[in-house]
């Protein structure tokens, strides 16, 4: 089902698509590929929206910084100094996070209206990012396909091709709150990650990955996520052709469980300490499946390069369930 969601100042219409299957209802916007809502039941069958978002288009236009539910690109996360070299040529990017380029620059993929085509049990979003957009080289043709399987799991599959060497790193930037309201202080997180990338100034990786053992970043066994985290975790599985489960988020109060499976080698965990109005700190937790921050400047990290004749592919699956336990 599709409906008009709003209109941009230049008259461009923004539509909302509703997907429903397996007891899950997901709403996706043509603006920014935004996942506006994900409605799932708790252990007693009571439904709630478990991602942060806004009821109208104006909310997203007035609060773009947190990237609520957005499709982020051309490069998710940060590139140090807003520049990188590829094949001996330095490319200067739009800087929108101090000296760094963040999530594609000032007008990344999250601030464009995508073309939407219905597919079986979902929608396919597509756009062409022209050569030089945000400072990135190459004309990039991108698709992102959102589908629900029989169990109600949300699958997001990305593909891209280029006509010149470039870098690509795409993700979804939903903030999860499995309670449906309040904060996420009681949420329990598990990650299949034995290492993480420490950060320095500007949240740029400082040195190589470090072991999580003995640190507050050790989520190999489930524990409260807490606060003060905006770090990339190095997934033990590395890059894979098919999605493998790497994370679980559990809200004991409602019984709701989110599982994350991905082909990506990393996940950025952000405990949303600086969301700003109208949301309080800790109102959600972002689990951004991705390649590592600043990879174009770090040859020892998994490569984000894409060349003509190659196809960029990335896939993440968000599964939903419930678990018995004490009620709030």
pLDDT digit string, tens, across residues 52-93 = 999 999 999 999 999 999 999 999 999 999 999 999 999 999
CB 162 within 8 A of CB 307: yes
> What b/e readout covers 163-190, taking b as 16+ CB neighbours within 10 angstroms?
eebbbbbbbbbbbbbbbbeebbebbbbb
Is residue 231 annotated as a catalytic residue, yes or no?
no
Backbone angles phi, psi at 78, to 5 degrees: -105, 145
Rounded to whole angstroms, how far apart are CA atoms 96 and 64?
12
Q: What dihedral angle (degrees, nearest 10) is formed by the CA atoms of 114, 118, 120, 122?
A: 50
Residue 300, pLDDT above cutoff 70? yes
What pLDDT was estimated at residue 326?
57
Residue 197 — very low, low, confident or very high, per pLDDT cuts 50/70/90?
very high
pLDDT at residue 327 tops 60: no
Catalytic-residue membership of 173: yes
State the catalytic residue, choosing from 103, 173, 250, 291: 173
In whole angstroms, give the CA distance from residue 97 to residue 293.
13
Task: Rounding to the nearest 10 degrees, give the CA dihedral for residues 38, 42, 44, 46.
Answer: -30
Catalytic pick among 231, 288, 291, 315? 288
**pLDDT class for 328, splitting at 50, 70, 90?**
very low
Q: What is the CA radius of gyration of the chain?
A: 19
What average pLDDT is seen over the chain? 97
């Amino acid at each position: 089902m599709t409906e008009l969601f709003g209109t941009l100042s230049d008259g461009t219409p923004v539509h909302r698509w509703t997907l429903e299957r397996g007891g899950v209802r997901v709403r996706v916007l043509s603006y920014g590929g935004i996942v506006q809502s994900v409605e799932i039941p708790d252990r007693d069958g009571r439904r709630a929206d478990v991602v942060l978002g806004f009821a109208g288009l104006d909310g997203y236009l007035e609060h773009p910084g947190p990237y609520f539910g957005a499709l982020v690109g051309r490069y998710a996360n940060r590139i140090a100094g807003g520049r990188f070299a590829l094949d001996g040529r330095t490319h200067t990017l739009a800087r929108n996070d101090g000296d760094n380029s963040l999530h594609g620059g000032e007008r990344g993929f999250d601030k464009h209206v995508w073309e939407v085509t219905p597919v079986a049990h979902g929608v396919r979003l597509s756009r062409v990012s022209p050569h030089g957009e945000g400072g990135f080289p190459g004309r990039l043709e991108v698709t992102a396909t959102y589908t629900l399987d029989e169990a109600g799991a949300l699958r997001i599959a990305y593909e891209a091709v280029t006509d010149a060497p470039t870098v690509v790193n795409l993700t979804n930037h939903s903030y999860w709150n499995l309670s449906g309201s309040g904060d996420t202080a009681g949420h329990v997180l598990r990650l299949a990650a034995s290492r993480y990338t420490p950060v320095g100034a500007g949240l740029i990786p400082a040195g190589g990955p470090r072991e999580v053992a003995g640190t507050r970043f050790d989520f190999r066994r489930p524990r409260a996520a807490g606060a003060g985290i905006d770090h990339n975790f190095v997934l033990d599985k590395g890059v894979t052709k098919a999605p493998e489960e790497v994370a679980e988020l559990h809200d004991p109060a409602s019984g709701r469980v989110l599982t994350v499976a991905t082909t990506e080698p990393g996940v950025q965990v952000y405990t949303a300490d600086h969301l700003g109005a109208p949301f309080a700190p800790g109102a959600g937790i972002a689990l951004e499946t991705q390649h590592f921050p600043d990879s174009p400047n770090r040859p020892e990290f998994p490569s984000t390069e894409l060349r003509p004749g190659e196809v960029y592919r990335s896939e993440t699956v968000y599964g939903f369930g419930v678990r018995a336990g004490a009620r709030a």
